[in-house]
Structure 1
Amino acid sequence: MDRREYIVAAGAGLAGAVAGCSGQSEAGSDSEGTTDNRTESGTSGGGSTAGAEPTDTGYSVSMEPVGEVSFESVPEVWVANNGSWADMGIALGLDAPEGVWLPSRYHTQYYDEIPGVSVDGSSIRKLWGDSGVGKEQFYEIDADIHVMDPNFLQSRGSWEQSDIDEIESQIAPFFGNSIFSTGYTWHDYTYYTLYEAFEKLSRAFQRTDRFEAFQSLHEEFRASLADIVPDSNSDRPEVAIMWAGGNEPTSFSPYLIEDGTSFKQWRDLRVRDAFAKTDVRDFHADRSKVDFETLLDIDPEYMLLRGHEAKTRSEFEDTVVGFLESDETGSELTAVQNGNVFRGGPLYQGPITNLVVTERAASQVYDVDRELFDRQRVADIIAGDL
């Protein structure tokens, strides 16, 4: 069987989806952090929910915006857009992807929490270069499936539709959705929750048993959070999530808590967004920045700074926190004075990463000092011991 033999059906779903990406609508959110009344536990209403359906030549899986993709055999060699999809693959017991856009943002150190699980991030090829993402890399890797949103390639990678068509016809299909953020205006189709996307990937790799085991573990994990999060909104912490570049940041890129998967831990912990009732706009909206003076006006209880996930807690304290404490203006912030400046979590998270960073987040804002999930159970599921 030639692995390039596949069918992209559903009326050329990809081409239709790309043509429809000029719309400005975005998914709305409710008070529980769900998207379009869908839960974080798996599929329900809204969007396409077709799974791995048998065909005469194999099976097919539906994913917006690519439509229905049919496979004649289970993919083996794969590449991923980012750490969200890469982590889903590891959770399914797959080998690491051959490449991701930016391996530096796929934080494989989280696997140190899981016995017997490790990924050598240095072995994963960096797809993004000075001139974007080159097509020649796709030919060199010769993957069976490209787990990435083709519209993201066109929006951020400067690809044309003809480039997408070429790689699909010559190598393998695209199968992905940009789920980490709802801030892109071109993304006018379904945003999947983490577990909706995870289910679809499990069907593509025919490992739905591992998905179902993770789903059960995740539901138990979320139920345990109910004992941690205060019932009253006023008793929950007010946080400012920002990107802080370098070890001595004086300006910050604000992130308003939204429905993307990169905010899942904060939605599940039901924190209050310090920027929500201000004039500050999300970084995705207009590449906005806030300085110390603006932060002093808002004065959040907690500052959660992204861009430092590669650091340990002590390294973060010795550099970023130490600088803020010594800065004449920064040291006036309540969060700095109270020792409530923490790493804000990764942009990309899958099912394993989410368990680790949610537990860490609970320790940061609720002073939880116990394990909230069974590490060995996670390892067993990954190994297929269900």
Structure 2
Amino acid sequence: MNRREYIVATGVGLAGAVAGCSGQSEAGSGGDGATDDATDSGTTTATATTEPTESGYSVAMEPVGEVTFEAVPEGWVANNGSWADMGIALGLDAPEGVWLPSRYHTQYYDEIPGVSVDGSSIQKLWGDSGVGKEQFYEIDADIHVMDPNFLQSRGSWEQSDIDEIETQVGPFFGNSIFSTGYEWHDYTYYTLYEAFEKLSQAFQRTDRFEAFRTLHEEFQTSLEDLVPDSESERPEVAIVWAGSDEPTSFSPYLIEDGTSFKQWRDLGVRDAFAKTDVRDFHADRSKVDFETLLDIDPEYLLLRGQENKTRSEFEDTVVSFLKSDQSGSELTAVQNGNVYRGGPLYQGPITSLVLTERAASQVYDVDRNLFDRQRVADIVAGEL
């Protein structure tokens, strides 16, 4: 699609010069280190349908407003693995670029027959000095599936930079949905499936979305049998970022409405940090140490930043270290063998199924498949 084949019909004012650290951190290069679905409680409103126009169609999404397309987009880039996975679920080719390819964990597709993504072919948008406009010109995408406010906050862009790329290259179409912890995000949060529906409208592949929504509803029903009715009987978990093999300092995450925590909400776990004075990493870049963890002493300890390891690699490095550490070994979760990889920051409709099933095996000892892999593959292939 030629860059002139779209117009931004109306727009919700983008927050200029929004606050936020743009530097790298232990919990996240690009400053996104910590942190959706049809059944989540959320702050969203009714989803607008695609509106036909004389010269194409338009789709509205906060904060970008209504975007009109004269042709269906082809080349695309995505902010992160949430949006990238939505595209794969719609049967698209992988995005040409994402913020950090290392955090788009394509190994999850190994679970799905016939679905694969070569992560090495995806361009990294985040560099040592942030995100450069030259990369957007080089890729020349038809659509940039990312929240422009996130780009301003974490990428240190100005509104004029956003306007330039929209005019010279292609529109922005996205909302930062993985975490609700950013103060600058004062507009609608979309659940995973609300955002997924928006993207399916932009790419005119709503039939695949509807098939996934049905599959997801069936999956949610199957989870209900796993979760104890009494909240006091549900597992208590602490989710932290610990990216090294021998962690002694941890970035805490409180379970909230962002897509980043979808599997844990769906499984009804209790948040060990919820009734403490520990602040979420996104709020103030906070850290906790072994002393704090021992005071809380969660039943399960879930470590993020470890998704590039297999289960055995994780146990041979991180878990082995915690067992040998004087303080770490005193944690109940360590003593009971309840230390696990806590999942990635980003998940979409396919990866959420894989991650939720894995989480169910971790906290509920489920040892069976909870969703039909072949059905997922069929939907991706358009065999509806």
- TM-score bracket, normalised by the shorter chain, equals over 0.9
Match of 2:31 in 1: none
Residue 245, structure 1, aligned to residue 243, structure 2: yes
Match of 1:264 in 2: 262
CA 1:267 to 1:250, structure 2 compared with 1: closer, same or farther past 3 Å?
same
- CA deviation string 1:8-29 (max 9, x = no partner): 112xx14x1325968xxxxxx9
Give, in whole Å, the separation in 1 of the partners of 2:281 and 2:196. Answer: 27
Quote how far apart the aligned CAs of 1:2 are. 3.1
Give, in whole Å, the separation in 2 of the partners of 1:54 and 1:20. Answer: 34
Of 14, 30, 37, which aligns to 1:17? 14
Quote how far apart the aligned CAs of 1:61 are. 0.2
Give, in whole Å, the separation in 2 of the partners of 1:147 and 1:34. Answer: 24
Of 275, 296, 304, which aligns to 2:273? 275
TM-score by length of 1: 0.93
CA contact (8 A) 2:14 2:148 kept: no
Question: Which residue identity lines up with residue 17 of structure 1 in the other structure?
Answer: L
Of 314, 336, 339, which aligns to 1:338? 336
Question: Which residue identity lines up with residue 377 of structure 2 in the other structure?
Answer: A
Match of 1:153 in 2: 151
Once the two structures are aligned, what percentage of the paired residues are identical? 84
- CA deviation string 1:94-131 (max 9, x = no partner): 00000001000000000000001000000000010001
Matches within 5 A, 1:81-120: 81-120=79-118
Give, in whole Å, the separation in 2 of the partners of 1:53 and 1:99. Answer: 28
Match of 2:26 in 1: none
Q: CA RMSD in A?
A: 1.4
Q: What is the SS of the residue equivalent to 1:2?
A: coil
CA contact (8 A) 2:360 2:366 kept: yes
Quote how far apart the aligned CAs of 1:50 are. 1.9
Matches within 5 A, 1:222-371: 222-371=220-369
Question: Which residue identity lines up with residue 34 of structure 1 in the other structure?
Answer: S
- CA deviation string 1:164-223 (max 9, x = no partner): 000000010000000000000000000000000000000000000000000000000000
Q: What is the SS of the residue equivalent to 1:214?
A: helix
5+ residue gaps, structure 1: 23-28, 39-45
> Would you say how many aligned residue pairs link Structure 1 and Structure 2?
366
Match of 1:35 in 2: 42
Give, in whole Å, the separation in 1 of the partners of 2:49 and 2:134. Answer: 32
Give, in whole Å, the separation in 2 of the partners of 1:317 and 1:5. Answer: 52
Match of 2:171 in 1: 173
Match of 2:23 in 1: none
TM-score by length of 2: 0.93
CA contact (8 A) 2:3 2:168 kept: no
Match of 1:73 in 2: 71
Quote how far apart the aligned CAs of 1:52 are. 1.5
Of 216, 219, 229, which aligns to 1:218? 216
5+ residue gaps, structure 2: 20-35
CA contact (8 A) 2:16 2:159 kept: no
Q: What is the SS of the residue equivalent to 1:93?
A: coil
Match of 1:2 in 2: 2
Match of 2:180 in 1: 182
